[in-house]
Amino acid sequence: MPQTGVRTGVRSELNILVDDRPVRVAAGISVASALFNLGVTSYAQSVTGEPRAPLCGMGVCFECRVTIDSRPHQRACLIPVVEGMHVITASNPG
């Protein structure tokens, strides 16, 4: 149950893998926000090979697709990070 309306201050951290690199990120944030905070600017390439990054932030544009734990085409803006998650940004979902 979310502790709504309560500011809890420092959030705990957890460990995820981004393109095989182990990193620590704030618990509960979205995968897109974790990647933004890590300085990942480009996600999957567009169909003609242009770098792209999240546009809408709300699951509409599909520009933030990544592979999460072997499941391709996951929208990074909709999915919270969990301990041990493996995110692959460089895959080209096409």
Residues found near other proteins in the complex (CB under 8 A): 1-8, 11, 26, 28-30, 32-34, 36-37, 41-43, 46-48, 50-63, 65, 71, 73, 77-80
Tokens linked to 91: 């895959």
Give the DSSP letter string of 2-25: --TT----SPPEEEEEETTEEEEE
Here the tokens at position 12 are 């705990």
Tell me the closest approach of the beta carbon of residue 90 to other proteins, in angstroms: 14
**DSSP designation for 45:** B
Of the pair 17, 53, the CB lying nearest other proteins is at 53
State the nearest-atom distance from the C-beta of 86 to other proteins, in Å. 16
